[in-house]
Every structure is written in structure tokens, then in C-alpha cells.
């Protein structure tokens, strides 16, 4: 039997717990990669990285358009793949 290492998924109330696994894994056999050690440390400490100008304006427009279409297609859908806010029924996540 597998034990869930993240009890927060089963608690009635939210709580902050210490992370049990690393945020990112590094294979010691490969020293080259897209992230620097400073990037990894920053991500481990803060939980995000910011890459300015990562996408071209046309790519951003396409992503926004697709996001809007996804939200519209799923607005009235009841499924475990569509997570909605309990009070407002607004979509939070679509898997």
C-alpha cells in the first residue's frame, strides 16, 4: 500500500507543512542545463522564476485566446477535470 506523504490533501483545514521533497531534481551526471545554480536556489527559496521576454507578443496573444476558449468551453461543465470556486462557480483550474 502506498502512503500519501502529503497529509494536507486529507485534512479538514488547511495548514502549512514543511516540504518533503525537493522542488527540482538535478541529475549529477549532467552538469549542463537551462538553469543556473543561482536560478535553482532562487526557485527553491521563492517558488518561482521570472524570465522577461520569454515569449513573443504573438505567442502571448495565442495563449490568451486559447485560455479564453478553454474557459468558455468548460464554464458549464461538471467534471473532476474542472475545478471551480465553491461560492462563485468561477473556474479555477481545467485539467
Residue-wise pLDDT tens digits, 22-52: 767 777 777 677 888 899 889 888 889 999 9
Say if CB 43 and CB 24 are below 8 A apart. yes
Q: What share of the chain is helix, strand, coil (3-state, %, to 5)?
A: 35, 5, 60
Buried b or exposed e, range 13-47, using 16+ CB within 10 angstroms: eeeeeeeeeeeeeeeeeeeeeeeeeeebeeeeeee
- Note the pLDDT of residue 34: 83
Q: How confident is the model at residue 68 (pLDDT cuts 50, 70, 90)?
A: very high
Is residue 4 a contact partner of residue 10, using CB atoms and an 8 Å limit?
yes
Amino acid at each position: 500500500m502506498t502512503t500519501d506523504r502529503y497529509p494536507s490533501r486529507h485534512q479538514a483545514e488547511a495548514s502549512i507543512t514543511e516540504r518533503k521533497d525537493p522542488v527540482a531534481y538535478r541529475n549529477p551526471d549532467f552538469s549542463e542545463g537551462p538553469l543556473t545554480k543561482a536560478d535553482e536556489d532562487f526557485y527553491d527559496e521563492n517558488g518561482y522564476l521570472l524570465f522577461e521576454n520569454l515569449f513573443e507578443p504573438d505567442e502571448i496573444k495565442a495563449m490568451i485566446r486559447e485560455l479564453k476558449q478553454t474557459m468558455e468551453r468548460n464554464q458549464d461543465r461538471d467534471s473532476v477535470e474542472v475545478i471551480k470556486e465553491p461560492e462563485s462557480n468561477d473556474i479555477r483550474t481545467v485539467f
